[in-house]
Amino acid sequence: MGVRPERVASEMREHISRIISEEIKDPRIGFITVTKVEVTPDLRNAKVLFSLLGGNEEKEGALEGLNSASGYIRKLLGERMRFKFIPELLFRLDESAEYVIHLNKIFDKIHKEKENKE
């Protein structure tokens, strides 16, 4: 990704986070964190990665809520960012934080087993 798409992605992440936390009133969307925005080089599409603590049901509900609000979020982005085209938004759940927690549990278990053997 070049410098411009990275700058655009960073600015979009800030605006989207603010829009979701302050202006979206969908009850399916709880307290989410926008972790990353990936913009295509032509700035036509953006993948918005978010994380959410909770079960699968809450995560699926949040994903549905965000996808249904994507048009409204794009409209507000268009008002706040001066671009010829506002990228299409595709929301995806970022499970990297959960994966790190899972790996830490495995490492702790291995470490405890190693201590018990010694």
CATH of residue 83: 3.30.300.20
Number of independent structural domains in the chain: 1
pLDDT of residue 2: 59
Mean pLDDT of each 10-residue bin along the chain, 118 residues long: 78 93 88 92 92 85 92 92 87 82 86 82
pTM as predicted: 0.78
pLDDT for res 85: 83
Give start and end residues of each alpha helix (H) in 31-69. 56-68
Q: Give the separation between CA 79 and CA 55, rounded to whole angstroms.
A: 34
Distance CA 4, CA 64 (A): 30
Tell me the residue range of the domain where 81 lies: 3-117
Q: End-to-end alpha-carbon separation of the chain, Å? A: 49
